[in-house]
Chains A and B, each alone.
Chain A
Amino acid sequence: MAGTAVFQRLTWLPATVADVVTETPRARTLLLAVPGWPGHRAGQHVDVRLTAPDGYQASRAYSLASAPGEGPALTVVRVEDGEVSPYLVDVASPGDRLEVRGPVGGYFVWEPAPPYRPVLLVGGGSGVVPLRAMLRHRARLGDTTPMRLLYSVRDPASVIYRDELVRQADLVTFHYTRTAPPDAPHAPGRIDRATLERTSRPAAEEPIAYVCGPTGFVEHVAALLLDLGYPAPAIRTERFG
Protein backbone atom coordinates (compact mmCIF):
# COMPACT_ATOMS: atom_id res chain seq x y z
CA MET A 1 0.00 0.00 0.00
CA ALA A 2 1.29 3.45 -0.90
CA GLY A 3 2.52 5.44 2.06
CA THR A 4 3.45 2.40 4.10
CA ALA A 5 6.97 2.81 5.38
CA VAL A 6 9.46 0.05 6.00
CA PHE A 7 10.17 -0.01 9.71
CA GLN A 8 13.30 -0.68 11.63
CA ARG A 9 12.81 -3.39 14.23
CA LEU A 10 12.06 -1.84 17.63
CA THR A 11 13.88 -3.45 20.50
CA TRP A 12 15.03 -2.20 23.90
CA LEU A 13 18.61 -0.95 23.68
CA PRO A 14 20.89 -0.44 26.68
CA ALA A 15 21.82 3.24 27.07
CA THR A 16 24.38 4.97 29.25
CA VAL A 17 24.08 8.56 30.43
CA ALA A 18 27.09 10.25 28.81
CA ASP A 19 26.55 13.79 29.99
CA VAL A 20 24.00 15.95 31.77
CA VAL A 21 23.13 19.60 31.08
CA THR A 22 21.08 21.56 33.61
CA GLU A 23 18.57 23.65 31.67
CA THR A 24 16.46 25.11 34.48
CA PRO A 25 15.92 24.20 38.15
CA ARG A 26 13.31 21.69 36.96
CA ALA A 27 14.76 20.49 33.64
CA ARG A 28 17.82 18.62 32.46
CA THR A 29 19.10 17.36 29.16
CA LEU A 30 20.58 13.86 29.21
CA LEU A 31 22.98 12.96 26.42
CA LEU A 32 22.84 9.21 25.93
CA ALA A 33 25.35 6.77 24.52
CA VAL A 34 23.36 4.03 22.79
CA PRO A 35 25.41 1.41 20.93
CA GLY A 36 23.48 0.45 17.80
CA TRP A 37 21.37 3.64 17.79
CA PRO A 38 19.86 3.68 14.27
CA GLY A 39 19.58 7.48 13.99
CA HIS A 40 16.41 9.53 14.18
CA ARG A 41 14.34 12.27 12.53
CA ALA A 42 13.60 15.66 14.07
CA GLY A 43 10.43 15.40 16.15
CA GLN A 44 10.51 11.68 16.90
CA HIS A 45 10.36 10.25 20.40
CA VAL A 46 11.68 7.27 22.33
CA ASP A 47 10.36 5.07 25.07
CA VAL A 48 12.58 5.10 28.15
CA ARG A 49 12.52 2.15 30.55
CA LEU A 50 13.88 2.12 34.07
CA THR A 51 14.35 -1.10 36.03
CA ALA A 52 14.60 -1.22 39.84
CA PRO A 53 16.74 -3.81 41.61
CA ASP A 54 13.55 -5.74 42.51
CA GLY A 55 12.69 -6.04 38.82
CA TYR A 56 9.95 -3.38 38.83
CA GLN A 57 9.94 -1.45 35.56
CA ALA A 58 8.48 1.87 34.49
CA SER A 59 8.40 3.28 30.97
CA ARG A 60 7.53 6.69 29.56
CA ALA A 61 7.83 8.34 26.17
CA TYR A 62 10.10 11.37 25.70
CA SER A 63 10.74 13.52 22.66
CA LEU A 64 14.26 13.49 21.29
CA ALA A 65 15.89 16.88 21.81
CA SER A 66 18.85 16.41 19.51
CA ALA A 67 19.05 16.88 15.75
CA PRO A 68 19.37 13.98 13.32
CA GLY A 69 23.04 13.08 13.08
CA GLU A 70 23.61 13.82 16.76
CA GLY A 71 23.42 11.17 19.43
CA PRO A 72 20.08 10.73 21.19
CA ALA A 73 19.39 13.36 23.86
CA LEU A 74 16.35 13.79 26.10
CA THR A 75 15.25 16.97 27.82
CA VAL A 76 13.10 16.09 30.80
CA VAL A 77 11.10 18.46 33.00
CA ARG A 78 10.32 17.16 36.48
CA VAL A 79 6.67 16.27 37.05
CA GLU A 80 6.33 16.83 40.79
CA ASP A 81 4.38 13.68 41.64
CA GLY A 82 5.87 11.71 38.77
CA GLU A 83 7.84 8.52 38.85
CA VAL A 84 10.26 8.53 35.93
CA SER A 85 10.93 12.25 35.46
CA PRO A 86 12.19 12.91 39.02
CA TYR A 87 14.70 10.11 38.53
CA LEU A 88 15.90 11.48 35.19
CA VAL A 89 16.08 15.08 36.46
CA ASP A 90 17.42 14.56 39.98
CA VAL A 91 19.21 11.22 40.16
CA ALA A 92 20.60 9.94 36.85
CA SER A 93 24.28 10.81 36.46
CA PRO A 94 26.98 10.12 33.88
CA GLY A 95 27.63 6.39 33.77
CA ASP A 96 24.11 5.40 34.87
CA ARG A 97 22.23 2.96 32.71
CA LEU A 98 18.70 2.76 31.38
CA GLU A 99 17.01 1.38 28.27
CA VAL A 100 15.52 3.08 25.23
CA ARG A 101 13.34 1.86 22.42
CA GLY A 102 12.99 3.84 19.22
CA PRO A 103 13.03 6.17 17.54
CA VAL A 104 9.25 6.14 17.15
CA GLY A 105 6.82 8.29 15.17
CA GLY A 106 6.59 9.31 11.54
CA TYR A 107 4.00 12.04 11.78
CA PHE A 108 5.24 14.81 14.05
CA VAL A 109 8.53 15.07 12.15
CA TRP A 110 10.11 17.70 9.97
CA GLU A 111 12.85 17.65 7.40
CA PRO A 112 13.43 20.02 4.50
CA ALA A 113 11.65 18.60 1.47
CA PRO A 114 9.80 19.99 -1.52
CA PRO A 115 7.65 22.09 -1.61
CA TYR A 116 9.58 23.68 1.32
CA ARG A 117 6.49 25.08 3.02
CA PRO A 118 7.20 27.73 5.67
CA VAL A 119 7.13 26.24 9.16
CA LEU A 120 5.59 27.66 12.32
CA LEU A 121 6.63 25.87 15.50
CA VAL A 122 4.49 26.56 18.57
CA GLY A 123 5.63 25.03 21.85
CA GLY A 124 4.14 25.26 25.32
CA GLY A 125 6.48 24.48 28.25
CA SER A 126 8.40 21.28 27.63
CA GLY A 127 6.54 21.03 24.31
CA VAL A 128 9.46 23.00 22.96
CA VAL A 129 11.69 19.90 23.03
CA PRO A 130 10.85 18.26 19.66
CA LEU A 131 10.62 21.73 18.08
CA ARG A 132 14.16 22.46 19.23
CA ALA A 133 15.27 19.31 17.39
CA MET A 134 13.66 20.73 14.22
CA LEU A 135 15.31 24.15 14.59
CA ARG A 136 18.64 22.50 15.26
CA HIS A 137 18.26 20.20 12.27
CA ARG A 138 17.62 23.17 10.00
CA ALA A 139 20.63 25.05 11.38
CA ARG A 140 22.98 22.08 11.05
CA LEU A 141 21.94 21.59 7.43
CA GLY A 142 22.23 25.30 6.63
CA ASP A 143 18.71 24.94 5.28
CA THR A 144 16.77 28.09 4.37
CA THR A 145 13.17 26.89 4.77
CA PRO A 146 11.37 29.76 6.54
CA MET A 147 10.92 28.64 10.15
CA ARG A 148 9.81 30.46 13.30
CA LEU A 149 9.44 29.21 16.84
CA LEU A 150 6.84 30.71 19.16
CA TYR A 151 7.72 29.45 22.63
CA SER A 152 5.08 29.86 25.33
CA VAL A 153 6.69 29.64 28.75
CA ARG A 154 5.56 30.51 32.23
CA ASP A 155 8.39 32.90 33.18
CA PRO A 156 11.99 33.71 32.20
CA ALA A 157 13.44 31.22 34.72
CA SER A 158 11.58 28.35 33.03
CA VAL A 159 13.09 28.86 29.57
CA ILE A 160 14.83 25.69 28.33
CA TYR A 161 17.72 26.04 25.81
CA ARG A 162 17.95 29.73 26.67
CA ASP A 163 21.39 30.51 25.21
CA GLU A 164 20.80 28.52 22.05
CA LEU A 165 17.43 30.15 21.40
CA VAL A 166 18.59 33.66 22.21
CA ARG A 167 21.39 33.24 19.65
CA GLN A 168 18.67 32.67 17.02
CA ALA A 169 16.66 35.72 18.03
CA ASP A 170 15.48 36.26 14.46
CA LEU A 171 13.78 32.85 14.48
CA VAL A 172 12.48 32.67 18.05
CA THR A 173 9.74 34.58 19.85
CA PHE A 174 9.26 34.05 23.58
CA HIS A 175 5.75 34.39 24.92
CA TYR A 176 5.45 34.54 28.72
CA THR A 177 2.26 33.35 30.37
CA ARG A 178 2.75 34.27 34.06
CA THR A 179 5.70 36.63 34.51
CA ALA A 180 7.32 38.54 31.66
CA PRO A 181 10.69 40.31 31.83
CA PRO A 182 10.49 44.13 31.91
CA ASP A 183 11.56 44.44 28.25
CA ALA A 184 8.97 41.95 26.95
CA PRO A 185 6.76 43.41 24.23
CA HIS A 186 3.58 41.98 25.74
CA ALA A 187 1.87 41.49 29.11
CA PRO A 188 1.91 37.93 30.43
CA GLY A 189 -0.96 35.79 29.20
CA ARG A 190 -2.09 33.14 26.79
CA ILE A 191 -0.99 33.23 23.17
CA ASP A 192 -3.64 35.15 21.24
CA ARG A 193 -4.63 35.35 17.61
CA ALA A 194 -2.66 38.54 16.94
CA THR A 195 0.56 36.99 18.28
CA LEU A 196 0.15 33.95 16.07
CA GLU A 197 -0.67 36.10 13.07
CA ARG A 198 2.47 38.20 13.61
CA THR A 199 4.65 35.12 13.95
CA SER A 200 3.21 33.06 11.10
CA ARG A 201 3.82 33.50 7.40
CA PRO A 202 0.60 34.47 5.60
CA ALA A 203 -1.85 31.69 4.77
CA ALA A 204 -1.24 32.32 1.05
CA GLU A 205 2.28 30.89 1.48
CA GLU A 206 0.72 27.65 2.76
CA PRO A 207 2.65 27.39 6.01
CA ILE A 208 2.58 24.22 8.06
CA ALA A 209 2.41 24.30 11.86
CA TYR A 210 3.79 21.94 14.50
CA VAL A 211 2.15 22.47 17.87
CA CYS A 212 3.34 20.65 20.98
CA GLY A 213 2.43 21.12 24.63
CA PRO A 214 -0.19 20.32 27.26
CA THR A 215 -3.62 19.42 25.86
CA GLY A 216 -5.31 22.72 26.74
CA PHE A 217 -2.49 24.67 25.09
CA VAL A 218 -2.62 22.59 21.91
CA GLU A 219 -6.42 22.84 21.66
CA HIS A 220 -6.23 26.61 22.08
CA VAL A 221 -3.45 27.16 19.53
CA ALA A 222 -4.88 24.73 16.96
CA ALA A 223 -8.26 26.49 17.12
CA LEU A 224 -6.59 29.87 16.54
CA LEU A 225 -4.59 28.50 13.60
CA LEU A 226 -7.76 27.12 11.99
CA ASP A 227 -9.24 30.56 12.44
CA LEU A 228 -6.19 32.12 10.74
CA GLY A 229 -6.83 29.98 7.68
CA TYR A 230 -4.57 26.99 8.28
CA PRO A 231 -6.32 23.95 6.82
CA ALA A 232 -6.62 21.14 9.40
CA PRO A 233 -4.08 18.87 7.64
CA ALA A 234 -1.47 21.67 7.89
CA ILE A 235 -1.62 21.56 11.71
CA ARG A 236 0.34 18.74 13.30
CA THR A 237 -0.01 18.33 17.03
CA GLU A 238 1.57 16.43 19.85
CA ARG A 239 -0.03 16.56 23.30
CA PHE A 240 0.85 15.47 26.77
CA GLY A 241 -0.67 15.71 30.24
Chain B
Amino acid sequence: MGVVSRGFSGKHFHRPGPELAGRVPPGQYLASGFPVLTAGATQHVSTGQWSFTIRGGTTEARWTWDDLLALPAEEITTDIHCVTRWTKLDTHWTGVPLDTLLAAAGEVPEFALQISHGGYATNLPVSELTGGKAWLVYRYEGEPIAAEHGGPVRMLVPAHYLWKSAKWIRELWLSAEDRPGFWEQSGYHHFGDPWREQRYFND
Protein backbone atom coordinates (compact mmCIF):
# COMPACT_ATOMS: atom_id res chain seq x y z
CA MET B 1 0.00 0.00 0.00
CA GLY B 2 1.23 3.51 -0.76
CA VAL B 3 0.73 6.66 1.25
CA VAL B 4 -2.03 6.37 3.87
CA SER B 5 -3.91 9.60 4.59
CA ARG B 6 -4.34 9.98 8.34
CA GLY B 7 -7.99 10.24 9.33
CA PHE B 8 -9.36 9.14 5.94
CA SER B 9 -11.64 6.14 6.17
CA GLY B 10 -13.59 6.58 2.97
CA LYS B 11 -17.29 6.00 2.58
CA HIS B 12 -16.75 3.66 -0.34
CA PHE B 13 -18.67 6.40 -2.05
CA HIS B 14 -21.39 5.26 -4.43
CA ARG B 15 -19.47 2.06 -4.97
CA PRO B 16 -21.84 -0.71 -5.94
CA GLY B 17 -22.69 -3.71 -3.83
CA PRO B 18 -21.25 -7.12 -4.74
CA GLU B 19 -24.02 -7.83 -7.25
CA LEU B 20 -22.85 -4.92 -9.45
CA ALA B 21 -19.14 -4.87 -8.59
CA GLY B 22 -18.23 -6.45 -11.91
CA ARG B 23 -19.85 -3.59 -13.81
CA VAL B 24 -18.14 -0.57 -12.29
CA PRO B 25 -14.51 -0.24 -13.44
CA PRO B 26 -11.72 0.63 -11.01
CA GLY B 27 -11.67 4.25 -9.83
CA GLN B 28 -15.27 4.90 -10.95
CA TYR B 29 -18.39 5.64 -8.89
CA LEU B 30 -22.06 5.48 -9.82
CA ALA B 31 -23.45 8.74 -11.14
CA SER B 32 -26.76 10.23 -10.21
CA GLY B 33 -28.25 11.99 -13.23
CA PHE B 34 -26.35 12.38 -16.46
CA PRO B 35 -23.46 14.83 -16.02
CA VAL B 36 -22.40 16.95 -19.01
CA LEU B 37 -18.79 17.29 -20.04
CA THR B 38 -17.77 19.31 -23.09
CA ALA B 39 -14.61 21.31 -23.72
CA GLY B 40 -16.40 24.24 -25.35
CA ALA B 41 -19.85 25.60 -25.99
CA THR B 42 -22.72 23.20 -26.72
CA GLN B 43 -23.23 22.91 -30.47
CA HIS B 44 -26.77 23.34 -31.72
CA VAL B 45 -27.10 21.31 -34.91
CA SER B 46 -30.51 20.86 -36.49
CA THR B 47 -31.49 17.56 -38.07
CA GLY B 48 -31.67 19.42 -41.40
CA GLN B 49 -28.06 20.58 -41.09
CA TRP B 50 -26.78 17.28 -39.83
CA SER B 51 -25.00 14.80 -42.08
CA PHE B 52 -22.37 12.12 -41.59
CA THR B 53 -19.51 11.38 -43.98
CA ILE B 54 -16.94 8.59 -43.96
CA ARG B 55 -13.74 9.56 -45.78
CA GLY B 56 -10.63 7.54 -46.38
CA GLY B 57 -12.15 4.25 -47.50
CA THR B 58 -12.16 3.19 -51.14
CA THR B 59 -15.66 4.75 -51.36
CA GLU B 60 -16.65 8.05 -49.76
CA ALA B 61 -20.05 7.64 -48.14
CA ARG B 62 -22.46 10.25 -46.78
CA TRP B 63 -25.81 10.09 -44.97
CA THR B 64 -28.35 12.78 -44.16
CA TRP B 65 -30.66 12.61 -41.12
CA ASP B 66 -33.38 11.01 -43.26
CA ASP B 67 -30.88 8.51 -44.70
CA LEU B 68 -29.82 7.51 -41.20
CA LEU B 69 -33.36 7.04 -39.96
CA ALA B 70 -34.12 4.85 -42.97
CA LEU B 71 -31.42 2.34 -41.93
CA PRO B 72 -32.25 -0.60 -39.65
CA ALA B 73 -31.77 0.57 -36.07
CA GLU B 74 -30.81 -1.33 -32.94
CA GLU B 75 -31.88 -0.82 -29.35
CA ILE B 76 -28.77 -0.73 -27.16
CA THR B 77 -28.64 -1.16 -23.39
CA THR B 78 -25.18 -0.45 -22.04
CA ASP B 79 -23.11 0.96 -19.20
CA ILE B 80 -21.15 4.16 -19.86
CA HIS B 81 -17.99 5.33 -18.12
CA CYS B 82 -16.64 8.90 -18.05
CA VAL B 83 -12.96 9.56 -17.37
CA THR B 84 -14.05 12.10 -14.74
CA ARG B 85 -14.94 8.98 -12.72
CA TRP B 86 -18.69 8.58 -13.02
CA THR B 87 -20.29 5.45 -14.39
CA LYS B 88 -23.93 5.13 -15.41
CA LEU B 89 -25.50 1.68 -15.68
CA ASP B 90 -28.17 0.42 -18.07
CA THR B 91 -28.48 3.42 -20.36
CA HIS B 92 -30.76 2.90 -23.37
CA TRP B 93 -29.99 4.19 -26.83
CA THR B 94 -31.33 3.76 -30.37
CA GLY B 95 -29.00 3.91 -33.34
CA VAL B 96 -27.33 2.37 -36.35
CA PRO B 97 -24.30 0.12 -35.92
CA LEU B 98 -21.07 1.42 -37.44
CA ASP B 99 -20.78 -1.98 -39.14
CA THR B 100 -23.65 -0.98 -41.43
CA LEU B 101 -22.11 2.40 -42.23
CA LEU B 102 -18.53 1.20 -42.68
CA ALA B 103 -19.77 -1.48 -45.10
CA ALA B 104 -20.60 1.38 -47.48
CA ALA B 105 -17.04 2.78 -47.31
CA GLY B 106 -15.38 -0.08 -49.17
CA GLU B 107 -11.95 -1.15 -48.03
CA VAL B 108 -10.82 0.86 -45.05
CA PRO B 109 -7.44 1.53 -43.39
CA GLU B 110 -6.64 0.80 -39.76
CA PHE B 111 -7.43 4.00 -37.82
CA ALA B 112 -10.42 6.30 -37.43
CA LEU B 113 -10.73 9.88 -36.25
CA GLN B 114 -14.24 11.00 -35.25
CA ILE B 115 -14.85 14.67 -36.10
CA SER B 116 -17.64 16.76 -34.59
CA HIS B 117 -19.43 19.95 -35.38
CA GLY B 118 -17.48 22.55 -33.38
CA GLY B 119 -14.10 20.95 -34.07
CA TYR B 120 -13.91 18.19 -31.46
CA ALA B 121 -12.10 15.02 -32.55
CA THR B 122 -11.19 11.68 -31.01
CA ASN B 123 -9.32 8.66 -32.34
CA LEU B 124 -9.70 4.87 -32.13
CA PRO B 125 -8.66 1.90 -34.23
CA VAL B 126 -11.36 0.94 -36.75
CA SER B 127 -11.43 -2.50 -35.13
CA GLU B 128 -12.97 -0.84 -32.02
CA LEU B 129 -15.85 0.50 -34.12
CA THR B 130 -16.81 -2.78 -35.80
CA GLY B 131 -18.22 -6.07 -34.56
CA GLY B 132 -21.23 -4.54 -32.80
CA LYS B 133 -19.15 -2.26 -30.56
CA ALA B 134 -20.13 1.20 -31.88
CA TRP B 135 -23.24 3.02 -33.07
CA LEU B 136 -24.42 6.36 -34.37
CA VAL B 137 -27.22 6.99 -31.88
CA TYR B 138 -30.14 9.41 -32.15
CA ARG B 139 -32.39 8.47 -29.23
CA TYR B 140 -31.58 8.27 -25.51
CA GLU B 141 -34.09 6.69 -23.10
CA GLY B 142 -36.66 6.80 -25.88
CA GLU B 143 -36.33 10.53 -26.54
CA PRO B 144 -34.33 12.60 -29.04
CA ILE B 145 -30.83 13.25 -27.64
CA ALA B 146 -30.55 16.72 -26.07
CA ALA B 147 -27.99 19.08 -27.60
CA GLU B 148 -25.84 19.10 -24.44
CA HIS B 149 -25.55 15.32 -24.68
CA GLY B 150 -24.53 15.44 -28.34
CA GLY B 151 -27.81 15.39 -30.22
CA PRO B 152 -29.20 15.12 -32.79
CA VAL B 153 -26.66 12.35 -33.50
CA ARG B 154 -23.65 11.26 -31.50
CA MET B 155 -21.26 8.36 -31.52
CA LEU B 156 -21.57 5.64 -28.87
CA VAL B 157 -18.53 3.42 -28.21
CA PRO B 158 -19.31 2.20 -24.69
CA ALA B 159 -16.28 -0.08 -24.23
CA HIS B 160 -14.15 3.07 -23.98
CA TYR B 161 -14.27 6.13 -21.74
CA LEU B 162 -17.02 8.39 -23.00
CA TRP B 163 -14.72 11.04 -24.50
CA LYS B 164 -14.18 8.41 -27.23
CA SER B 165 -17.88 8.81 -28.18
CA ALA B 166 -17.98 12.12 -30.06
CA LYS B 167 -20.99 14.39 -29.63
CA TRP B 168 -22.46 16.14 -32.71
CA ILE B 169 -20.67 13.64 -34.95
CA ARG B 170 -20.06 14.91 -38.47
CA GLU B 171 -17.36 12.81 -40.08
CA LEU B 172 -15.19 9.76 -39.70
CA TRP B 173 -11.71 10.15 -41.18
CA LEU B 174 -9.98 6.88 -41.87
CA SER B 175 -6.24 6.61 -42.33
CA ALA B 176 -3.30 4.24 -42.02
CA GLU B 177 -1.84 6.46 -39.31
CA ASP B 178 -3.27 6.92 -35.78
CA ARG B 179 -3.92 10.67 -35.47
CA PRO B 180 -4.60 12.01 -31.97
CA GLY B 181 -7.83 13.85 -31.29
CA PHE B 182 -8.61 16.75 -28.99
CA TRP B 183 -8.01 15.25 -25.55
CA GLU B 184 -5.40 12.83 -26.85
CA GLN B 185 -3.26 15.81 -27.90
CA SER B 186 -3.55 17.10 -24.33
CA GLY B 187 -2.16 13.96 -22.75
CA TYR B 188 -5.15 11.65 -22.56
CA HIS B 189 -4.91 8.02 -23.60
CA HIS B 190 -5.15 6.94 -27.25
CA PHE B 191 -7.22 3.84 -26.40
CA GLY B 192 -9.10 4.76 -23.19
CA ASP B 193 -10.13 1.35 -21.79
CA PRO B 194 -11.94 1.94 -18.46
CA TRP B 195 -11.20 -1.57 -17.20
CA ARG B 196 -7.49 -0.90 -17.54
CA GLU B 197 -7.89 2.67 -16.24
CA GLN B 198 -6.32 4.14 -19.38
CA ARG B 199 -6.95 7.77 -18.46
CA TYR B 200 -3.68 9.48 -19.33
CA PHE B 201 -1.24 8.72 -22.12
CA ASN B 202 1.12 6.57 -20.06
CA ASP B 203 -1.47 4.63 -18.04
Contacts and interface: CB of A to CB of B under 8 A. Distances in A.
Instruction: Say what secondary structure dominates the interface of chain B.
Output: loop
B39 A237 contact: yes
Interface residues of A, number: 49
B186 interface: yes
Nearest to B186: A106
Given A10-B200, A53-B4, A98-B3, A219 B42 contact: yes
A5 B85 CA distance: 25
A41 to B, nearest CB: 11
A56 B10 contact: yes
B186 A225 contact: no
Contact of A4 (B10, B13, B84, B180): B180
Contacts of A237: 38-41
A233 B186 CA distance: 16
B179 interface: yes
A96 interface: yes
Interface residues of B, number: 39
Nearest to A95: B6
Contacts of A241: 35
B2 interface: yes
Contacts of B148: 215, 219
B70 interface: no
A50 interface: yes
Interface in A95-143: 96-99, 101, 104-108
A59 interface: yes
Interface string B25-56: 00100000001111111110000000000000
Contacts of B185: 3-5, 106
Given A4-B185, A55-B1, A237-B41, A50 B10 contact: yes
Interface string A1-41: 10111010110101000000000000000000000000000
A109 to B, nearest CB: 9
Contacts of A194: none
A55 B200 CA distance: 23
B199 to A, nearest CB: 8
A107 B186 contact: yes
A203 interface: no
Interface string B1-16: 1111111111111000
A232 B85 CA distance: 27
A7 B3 contact: no
Contact of B41 (A55, A91, A99, A222): A222
Contacts of A196: none
A223 to B, nearest CB: 7
Contacts of B8: 50-52, 87, 91
A98 B180 CA distance: 32
19 contacts: A1-B179, A1-B180, A50-B5, A51-B3, A52-B5, A53-B9, A57-B10, A61-B84, A92-B5, A96-B5, A97-B3, A101-B200, A105-B186, A107-B182, A215-B35, A215-B36, A215-B148, A232-B43, A236-B40
Given A97-B4, A107-B39, A219-B36, 15 more contacts: A1-B179, A7-B187, A10-B201, A10-B203, A51-B5, A55-B1, A97-B5, A101-B200, A106-B187, A215-B36, A219-B42, A232-B40, A233-B40, A233-B119, A237-B38
